[in-house]
Amino acid sequence: MSENAWFSADYRQARGRFLDAAADVGARVETHENPVPGPNGGPLATDVAFLGDPQAEAALLTFSGTHGAEGFCGSGVQVGWLESGLWREVPDGIAQIHVHGVNPFGFAHLSRTTEENVDLNRNFVDFAAGVPVNEGYESIHPILCPEVWDDEAETRLAQGVAKYTEEHGFWAFREAATSGQHTHRNGIFFGGTTPSWSRLTVARLLATHCSTRKRLAVIDYHTGLGPRGYGERIVDHLPDTAGYQRCMEWYDSDCASPHLGTSASAKLTGQMLDAIEHGLPQVEVTAIALEYGTQPENQVISALCADNWLRFHGDMSSSKGRDIKAQVREAFYQDALDWKQAVFERALDTQRRAIRGLQG
Ligand SMILES: [Zn+2]
């Protein structure tokens, strides 16, 4: 194992390693170029590596970088899976689709959101039917998104969150702040008002490569919630469904459900995995998010708020801007061997279980 060679220092390196690894194993690669330039004018793209029989009835589908800067984790897993030869464990009859940098703007610019400041994992709502209403966010927005970010900003933020939590409870804060909102485009956890470029890219991918399959195992890699290095398997299938039952069987009940209050995550609206399940009604979809802890939650929230301030009020090229980007990177990626090993070990166990599950 050589985790340090699989987990990259920036988007450019991650993309290069993924494309190299895909080429080395003879994967077919599809590239979806994002129209917005990356840092220093470099290209931004979502790259997809395909292995196995394109017509296979079953497929393993992995995503990295749904939340931009969280992409270091999933990218490292995808590169390691290919480079180490572990991908060969997948038997004939199961295709593999590895989607790298599904939100390439956020990955490259060290932000959780897309070029539209959209939280991609809150953007998969039926806009024609009307967006979900999150009344709680209104009073939280001024706490999380101040116009001034100075040396006292984190203290004011912590005090504001503590006051809200005292009055309404911890879970009320978490739901209101993080479940998704569609009213403040300059706010955090903004689900957007139209489908983002990344969502449209995912929709094209699903229509072209997944809609005629019989069984699909989906693993969406995330970071920033829970204990450092621990990977929580979050199941969003409703608890009384066959999808939920399959997750419990495949993953030996080692899963958490926001619907049952057993997850570090709140119940979210506009999630990608829900949209995959409901958008492919003829496919048996078994989906989890694998969510790894990094730093204590107050530090992660601070980094998110600082980054949001930077995007709308700050100067990216200032030393303060660079400090905030370093803070975001730490909040969503731990450049430490013990963390990378823990991430990879859990991912490997999870992908092996998914493959066994697909075999029935
Ligand atoms: Zn995430």
Domain boundaries, the chain: 3-127+189-212+294-298+329-359
Instruction: Kindly give the distance from the C-alpha atom of residue 67 to the centroid of ligand 1, in angstroms, as a whole number.
Output: 5
Q: For residue 5, how far is its CA from the centre of ligand 1 (angstroms)?
A: 23
CA 220 to ligand 1 centroid distance, Å: 9
Class of 3-127+189-212+294-298+329-359 per CATH? alpha beta
- Distance between Cα 42 and ligand 1 center (Å): 24
Q: Which residues pair with 98 in a beta bridge?
A: 49, 62
For residue 292, the CA-to-ligand 1 centroid distance in Å is 9
pLDDT reported for residue 360: 81
115 Cβ contact partners less than 8 Å away, ≥ 6 residues apart: 34, 36, 105, 196, 197
C-alpha 55 – ligand 1 centre gap (Å): 31
- Ligand 1 mean position, distance from CA 159 (Å): 25
Q: How far does residue 129's CA lie from ligand 1's centre (Å)?
A: 25
Report residues of the chain scoring pLDDT below 50.
none
* Tens-place pLDDT, residues 273-289: 999 999 999 999 999 99
Separation of 227 CA from ligand 1 center, angstroms? 15
- The number of beta carbons lying within 10 Å of the beta carbon of residue 260 is 12
The pLDDT value recorded for residue 1 is: 65
| Residue 64 Cα to ligand 1 middle (Å) | 10
CA of 295 to the centre of ligand 1 (A): 14
CA of 82 to the centre of ligand 1 (A): 23
Strands (E), the chain: 28-33, 45-51, 58-63, 94-100, 215-228, 231-234, 284-293
What is the whole-number distance in angstroms between the Cα of residue 53 and the centre of ligand 1?
30
Provide the residue type at 1 as one letter. M
Each residue's pLDDT tens digit, 306-341: 999 999 999 999 999 999 999 999 999 999 999 999
- Measured in Å, residue 90 CA sits from the centre of ligand 1 at 27
Question: Would you call 206 helix, strand, or coil by DSSP?
Answer: helix
Element containing residue 203 per DSSP (H, E): helix 197-209
pLDDT at 2: 87
Residue pair 250/354 in contact (Cβ under 8 Å)? The answer is yes
Polymer length of the chain: 360
CA of 302 to the centre of ligand 1 (A): 15
- Ligand 1 centroid, distance to 57 Cα (angstroms): 29
- Bridge partners (DSSP) listed for residue 216: 59, 285
Q: What's the 69 CA to ligand 1 centre distance in angstroms?
A: 9
Residue 119 alpha carbon to ligand 1 centre in Å = 9
Q: Where does 134-256 have alpha helices with state H?
A: 136-144, 153-168, 170-178, 197-209, 242-250
Cα 34 to middle of ligand 1, angstroms = 20
A 10 A CB-CB count for 109 gives 23
The rounded Å distance from CA 230 to ligand 1 centre is 14
Reading the block at residue 20, the tokens are: 């190299």
Q: How far apart are CA 272 and CA 68, in angstroms?
A: 14
Cα 132 to averaged position of ligand 1 atoms, centre (Å): 19
Q: State in Å: Cα 228 to ligand 1 middle.
A: 15
CA of 101 to the centre of ligand 1 (A): 13
Query: What's the 92 CA to ligand 1 centre distance in angstroms?
Result: 32
Q: Phi and psi of 97, rounded to 5°?
A: -130, 110
How many A from CA of 52 to the centre of ligand 1? 28
For residue 223, how far is its CA from the centre of ligand 1 (angstroms)?
A: 6
